[in-house]
Amino acid sequence: MEEKMSILQKAQVRVSPEAARLLEERVTRGLETYGMTLDENQAPLEERLQHALEEDLDLLQYLEWAREIASEGLEAQLDELCVFAAEIANALARINADEPPDDPGEWVEWRDLEGPDLPTDF
């Protein structure tokens, strides 16, 4: 029987080897802090999505701050990342408020978080 991939493994296949290594370090720090991995966390979906929203909003603020002080070449890249972070925050806020997005197709894509076709083009 095929072994189920952990959340860490699923995330690692989406990123570069360097980012995958950093993800593993984050899991180790999370284990030290919380005593469990995300796979072991029994919090309900709504609580986890709220936490994801809060983390993304923090990311957006860090990126906006960095964009203000970055050199001109890096500023454009950071601006693009701000757009992505804002899109994720908006989608999570709609999910957390249980409000459908403007495009009904997007609702199914984001609500089906356990499905194999998670959004990858944001």
What's the chain's length in residues? 122
> In this predicted model, what pLDDT tens digit does every residue of 21-79 receive, in sequence order?
999 999 999 999 999 999 999 999 999 999 999 999 999 999 999 999 998 889 989 99
Three-state secondary-structure class, residue 118: coil
Q: Record the pTM.
A: 0.73
pLDDT at 110: 42
pLDDT at position 97 is: 84
CA 23 to chain centroid, in Å, comes to 12
Q: Categorize the per-residue pLDDT at 122 as very low, low, confident or very high, splitting at 50, 70 and 90.
A: very low
Q: What one-character DSSP code corresponds to residue 98? A: T
